[in-house]
Amino acid sequence: MHPFATTITAPAPISSKADIAPAFEGRIGALVATAGIAIAEALDEQQLGALSPRTKTRSGDLICELVRLRQFLIADFPDFDRVAREHGVAMLRQAGASPATADVLVDEVLDLMHKVARIALN
């Protein structure tokens, strides 16, 4: 055996989609919540008279990232929208949003996600 040889152990195979689902569900929820917060910030800025390019770009980038994630995962997560809604609302609630505000923000994020996805398909 070579003196510098190392043993590399392959990671255990993932036995089912259930093994990775919680990680993806958390990522989906975090992205939806972050996009919702960015939209709320944009609305606040707009009410104050000027939406900054940084906030506008950030909101758009988050929605586009969500569209890409949905397209990537839709075969394994056909209930992507349910997961996005459930986990996005839960994360916004943890961040202190009221139930009504969390619902409205998640609705807006998912609506924008679907609009962008439709545009991307055309």
Contacts 24+ apart (CB under 8 A), 54-58: none
Q: What residue ranges do the domains of the chain occupy? A: 21-121
Note the pLDDT tens digit of each residue in 35-74.
999 999 999 999 988 888 898 899 999 999 999 999 998 8
Q: What is the pTM of this model?
A: 0.80
pLDDT at 50: 87
Angle at Cα 11 formed by Cα 9 and Cα 16, nearest 5°?
155
Note the pLDDT tens digit of each residue in 71-105.
998 888 899 999 999 999 999 999 999 999 999 99
pLDDT at 18: 55
Angle at Cα 75 formed by Cα 88 and Cα 85, nearest 5°?
15
